Amino acid sequence: MPIVVFNQKGGVGKSTITCNLAAISASQGLRTLVIDLDPQGNSTSYLLGGPVAEGQPTVADFFENTLSYSFKSTPPTHFVVESPFENLDVMPSSPALTELVVKLESRQKIYKLREALQQLATTYDRIYIDTAPALNFYTRAALIGASGCLIPFDCDSFSRQALYTLLDNVQEIRADHNPELQVDGIVVNQFQPRANLPQRMVAELIDEGLPVLQPYLPASVRIRESHERCLPMVYLDPSHKITLALIALHNGLRG
């Protein structure tokens, strides 16, 4: 069940949520893959300890390969690297993604990721896809190929306005390209329960019938330490409140 983590607004915790959910899946014994489609490569650095080494395959190499006649003979697992964590692999990002867009769009390669995901689903129990904060070629390709979409939300008015646009875009892709695509839910991130604005904003989203997931993820400086040490929370601090919230969130998702 490939899950895309997406929001067109930046800074809402896409990479953090992607990597931590993936790490929890892996820690529970599930073969797990993270595909990093954001050229900034935050998920790649988080899980691999830095950018990929020279000569290692990346997701850009996968897309480059779709432009060649050898595409069908090269399995998508060829572009996957092992992380330091058991059961957790990564298809790493690359800045070259930006340069490839024009070629991929002109050659109409938007469905090639879906084909790869169908093959990868025979190897992995869970696939999480991190995306850039933009509805670009790669994000559309991910949504066309995925069965679920998680939307991080950080409780401010800008994020709320972006949310409505995002939901419309997801529904359009579902109608035109991928009827199996579901919004698995809105993940409330950096929630401050004692502040009035976050409480009111989340309550209003629930009143509107939007799929707000529980538990809400609390704000914590421990996450920054997790980023700095390149250790997802389930490995850094398994009993921390945000780790427990992430585990509860993970276990409540569709299997």
Number of domains in the chain: 1
Across the range 182-205, mean pLDDT stands at: 90
pLDDT tens-digit map of 161-170: 889 999 999 9
Tell the burial category of 29 from Cβ atoms under 10 Å away from its Cβ (0-12, 13-18, 19+): exposed
Task: Specify the CATH number for the domain of residue 248.
Answer: 3.40.50.300
Judged by DSSP in three states, 33 sits in strand
Total-model pTM: 0.96
Report how far apart, in Å, the C-alpha atoms of 108 and of each of 1, 102, 201, 247 are: 24, 10, 40, 39
CB distance 232 to 226 below 8 Å = yes
Q: Which domain holds residue 85?
A: 2-252
Beta bridge partners of 150: 5, 185
The answer to whether 94 and 41 are in contact (CB under 8 A) is yes
pLDDT tens-digit series, residues 41-97:
999 999 999 888 888 999 999 999 999 877 778 999 999 999 999 999 999 999 999
User: Packing angle between helix 96-106 and helix 137-145, nearest 10 degrees?
Assistant: 70
